Amino acid sequence: MDNQRGAKTKKPVNRGVIALIGAALVAVLFLVIFLPIYFTVIRPREQQSSNEGSVSGSGPANPSSGDDPSKPVETVSGRLLRGSNGSTVTKDDGSTFIYRNEFDGFWVDDPQDPFNNDAQPNSWTPALNTSWKWGVDRIYGVNLGGLFVLEPFISPEIFQRYPEANDEFMLSEAMAADTARGGLSQIEEHYNTFITEEDIAEIAAAGLNWIRVPIGFWAVETWPGETFLVRTSWSYFLRVVKWARKYGLRVCLDLHAVPGSQNGYNHSGRLSPINFLAGPMGIANAERALYYLRVFTQFIAQPQYLDVIQAIELVNEPLAGELGVEPLNSFYTRAYEILRGITGVGNGNGPFIIISDGLQALSSWEGLLPGGDRVGVDGHPYFAFGGVNVAPIFTPAEDNLAGGTWPRQACNTWGPTFAQSRGIFGVTVGGEFSAAVNDCGLFIRGTLNPRSFHPQCPEYDAWETYNDTMKEGLQSFITASFDAIGDFFFWTWKIGPSIDGRIEAPLWSYKLGLEQGWIPRDPRESVGKCERLGATFEPFRGTFTPAQTGGDPSATIAPDYLASNPWPPTSIININAPIEFLPRYTNTAPIITLPVPIYTGAPASATEGLDGWVNDNDTEGGPAEAAECTYPDRYTPDPAFAPIGPCPVGFEVA
């Protein structure tokens, strides 16, 4: 993307009463959510730097980088503002660690210049201040799975505290009732400790360059009956973004859980029937999802965030096989119009838009949003859930390294589909996949089936005693997967210990695999792996169209496509009434603006216009129930609910 900074001038705020109420709400939120973090964490550090007037160390006191951007530069307190391999990083709490990066990465952290994007994670990734070249630069990414949308197999100990909980909804309910153990603050404690600054530094040092960060709708708000910890993850998300900027990582914000559940899985927040684009609340729930996408986009499209949060994924894994592709096409079309309406079109105007393949073949999405500006598709290839296959992984593969049939199977299964999707659709990423070839490990299938009966689980679970052949086989499989998928985000960076103090889903942790030697220390080793295995798929050697990568500032979607994918869609599953009779929301709620951190050390110019809402022309209110309408339960509606006419008031069905 190009880097037109501060090009936007803000129009005077004219959102009227709604804005005032919204602002008041935000101010309160700000105090409640942000001050504890930014005052306890940031203020002491800054006071420290301004109190200590003497220059220590030998570096220049002037925070300019000279010719070599990676050269350490010191601030007045002796604290470094940037550094490369071997430098000392001082964290917000004053403690330090040594930055290790063997790939010429360097970090930047200047309180006077909090949006500095000079950092670079390694020599083969453009610094954040430099355009990402889609199709040229390769995504070597990991997910921060289980951080803001909790999953039993990723943080098992938390779920083991409340054995009755099968998903975050039930977990939150159980915690809230358990004030003795701190109630819902246990979730915040998890946000605060599960992923640390060292993790982000290690991700950069592992040769990686992107993170995909799943987040739930409760980062914005919850409605009555929704048990999730509300509006707390956002400030921790911004802390992750701050660290990503510091270490030079790009971020994909992934809306992983929407009201009503988009797939019914536990990792959608609630194990339940699907009520997103399905059932009597299917349209209403989707309208809330559209609103949350709008609120997130208004924030991340601000010039200060554009170069770090470079992509947004609309909804993770909506179950297209059940919902049908047509209603999803309508949803994506509406989301595209809302998002690009906020950001404008072309490089420098808001994030890349990623759509999930909905757990269907990538080719199902051919023709989606034709001519659209920066739209990509995300596939999640896993063998782990594909049934029992006991093929050994420690026997030699075609390239004489261990791996058995697995590496070549990854190349042959995923290589052609990802390559073809790049030709047919455009930018295509593998947003999730793991090193597991089976569903062994604790809670991989959720808490209801805590352990798999796969016959090889004893062998795969005992990671502490894997021999070198086993590790070589796993590494061969994972490098083949990297090569076949191309632009990838491994699922996931970290697995926490179970109540027994052990990591019990080892092949899902990039960090553990790096430490133990089944993940390559340099992910570029994967390039050419499929060829070395004799896998003969045709790689994508073409180029993307200008619109696909932001090079067409007048990219538009054909009017007939828009007309044939209307919002709301013409039909959805599991309803007993005409779709136009289903409950909808009015647009009368005050707009929620996501809070912005306080930057006390920075000049006002650095934070100019930073208020969480980039486009003041966008003044429509948020969704609210109309008093005169009946709304069934958002997750478990009465299946017999059959309205005999449209709800009479307040609807702009357009």
Ligand X SMILES: *[C@@H]1O[C@H](CO)[C@@H](O)[C@H](O)[C@H]1NC(C)=O
Give the binding range for ligand X (CB under 6 A) out of 266-274, 373-381, 558-566, 628-636. Answer: 266-274
In whole angstroms, how close is the CB of 298 to ligand X at the nearest point? 11
Closest CB to ligand X among 392 and 650?
Answer: 392
Among 75, 77, 90, 120, binds ligand X (CB under 6 A): 120
Question: CA–CA separation, 109 vs 121, rounded Å?
Answer: 14
In whole angstroms, how close is the CB of 47 to ligand X at the nearest point? 29
Give the binding range for ligand X (CB under 6 A) out of 49-57, 207-215, 424-432, 441-449. Answer: 441-449
195 binds ligand X (CB under 6 A): no
Give the binding range for ligand X (CB under 6 A) out of 55-63, 296-304, 467-475, 512-520. Answer: 467-475
Q: DSSP readout, 479-492?
A: HHHHHHH-SEEES-
Residue 89 bridge partners (DSSP): 97
Give the binding range for ligand X (CB under 6 A) out of 264-272, 273-281, 373-381, 548-556. Answer: 264-272
Closest CB to ligand X among 471 and 584?
Answer: 471
CA distances from 37 to 105, 250, 292, 475, 607 (A): 28, 23, 24, 40, 19
In whole angstroms, how close is the CB of 615 to ligand X at the nearest point? 5
> How many other β-carbons are positioned within 10 Å of the β-carbon of residue 553?
14
Question: CA–CA separation, 235 vs 431, rounded Å?
Answer: 24
Among 150, 252, 401, 470, binds ligand X (CB under 6 A): 470
Closest CB to ligand X among 86 and 367?
Answer: 86
Task: Decide if 231 contacts 29 (C-beta within 8 A).
Answer: yes
Q: Hey, which residues between 2 and 31 contact ligand X (CB under 6 A)?
A: 8, 11
86 binds ligand X (CB under 6 A): yes
Closest CB to ligand X among 62 and 467?
Answer: 467
151 binds ligand X (CB under 6 A): yes
Residues of 23-35 as b/e, b for ≥16 C-beta within 10 angstroms? bebbeebbeebbe
First vs last C-alpha separation in the chain:
33
Closest CB to ligand X among 266 and 428?
Answer: 266
In whole angstroms, how close is the CB of 127 to ligand X at the nearest point? 4
In whole angstroms, how close is the CB of 57 to ligand X at the nearest point? 16
Q: DSSP readout, 438-505?
A: S--STTTT-SSS-S---TTHHHHH-GGG--HHHHHHHHHHHHHHHHHH-SEEES-S-----TTSS-S-
Among 118, 199, 307, 504, binds ligand X (CB under 6 A): 118
Among 459, 580, 620, 633, binds ligand X (CB under 6 A): 459
Closest CB to ligand X among 311 and 474?
Answer: 474
Classify residue 554 as exposed, middle or buried by CB count within 10 Å of its CB (0-12, 13-18, 19+).
Answer: exposed
Among 412, 469, 516, 607, binds ligand X (CB under 6 A): 469
445 binds ligand X (CB under 6 A): yes
127 binds ligand X (CB under 6 A): yes
Among 446, 539, 551, 609, binds ligand X (CB under 6 A): 446
Count the site residues for ligand X by CB under 6 A. 27
In whole angstroms, how close is the CB of 560 to ligand X at the nearest point? 26
Give the binding range for ligand X (CB under 6 A) out of 88-96, 464-472, 477-485, 515-523. Answer: 464-472
85 binds ligand X (CB under 6 A): yes
Taking CB atoms within 8 Å and a gap of at least 24, the contacts of 93-100 are 93/41, 93/45, 94/44, 94/45, 94/48, 97/197, 97/198, 97/201, 99/201, 99/205, 100/205
Question: CA–CA separation, 631 vs 641, rounded Å?
Answer: 10
Q: Could you tell me which residues come within 8 angstroms of residue 415 by beta carbon, excluding any fewer than 6 positions away?
A: 483, 484, 530, 535, 537, 539
Among 204, 271, 401, 533, binds ligand X (CB under 6 A): 271
Q: Hey, which residues between 302 and 331 contact ligand X (CB under 6 A)?
A: none
Among 2, 43, 52, 69, binds ligand X (CB under 6 A): 69
Strands 488-490 and 250-257, by their bridges, are unpaired
DSSP 339: H
Question: CA–CA separation, 265 vs 544, rounded Å?
Answer: 34
Give the binding range for ligand X (CB under 6 A) out of 196-204, 261-269, 316-324, 519-527. Answer: 261-269
102 binds ligand X (CB under 6 A): yes
Within 13 A of 612's CA, how many CA atoms are on the CB side? Answer: 21
Among residues 482, 479, 553, which one has the least CA distance to residue 518?
A: 479
In whole angstroms, how close is the CB of 149 to ligand X at the nearest point? 10
DSSP 180: G
Classify residue 285 as exposed, middle or buried by CB count within 10 Å of its CB (0-12, 13-18, 19+).
Answer: buried
Annotate each residue in 471-510 with x if it binds ligand X (CB under 6 A) or - if it does not, as one string. ----------------------------------------
Structure tokens at 551: 């090079």
Give the binding range for ligand X (CB under 6 A) out of 53-61, 210-218, 262-270, 315-323. Answer: 262-270
Length reported for the chain: 654
Among residues 31, 35, 33, 87, which one has the least CA distance to residue 59?
A: 87
Closest CB to ligand X among 285 and 330?
Answer: 285
In whole angstroms, how close is the CB of 569 to ligand X at the nearest point? 25
User: Is the preceding peptide bond at 492 cis, omega within 30 degrees of 0?
Assistant: yes
Give the binding range for ligand X (CB under 6 A) out of 230-238, 296-304, 443-451, 545-553. Answer: 443-451
Which one-letter amino acid corresponds to residue 99?
Answer: Y
In whole angstroms, how close is the CB of 40 to ligand X at the nearest point? 31
Closest CB to ligand X among 40 and 123?
Answer: 123
Task: Decide if 518 contacts 475 (C-beta within 8 A).
Answer: yes
615 binds ligand X (CB under 6 A): yes
Among 134, 265, 406, 491, binds ligand X (CB under 6 A): 265
Q: Hey, which residues between 368 and 427 contact ligand X (CB under 6 A)?
A: 394
Give the binding range for ligand X (CB under 6 A) out of 46-54, 252-260, 418-426, 463-471. Answer: 463-471
Q: What is the largest CA-CA distance in the chain?
A: 79
Give the binding range for ligand X (CB under 6 A) out of 225-233, 356-364, 465-473, 571-579. Answer: 465-473
Task: Decide if 348 contacts 131 (C-beta within 8 A).
Answer: no
In whole angstroms, how close is the CB of 77 to ligand X at the nearest point? 22
467 binds ligand X (CB under 6 A): yes
Among 212, 256, 267, 422, binds ligand X (CB under 6 A): 267
153 binds ligand X (CB under 6 A): yes
Q: DSSP readout, 507-559?
A: GG-HHHHHHHTSS-SSGGGGTTHHHHTT-------S---TGGGT--TT----H
* Residues within the interface to ligand X (CB under 6 A): 8, 11, 69, 85-86, 100, 102, 118, 120, 127, 129, 151, 153, 265-267, 271, 394, 444-446, 459, 467, 469-470, 615, 617
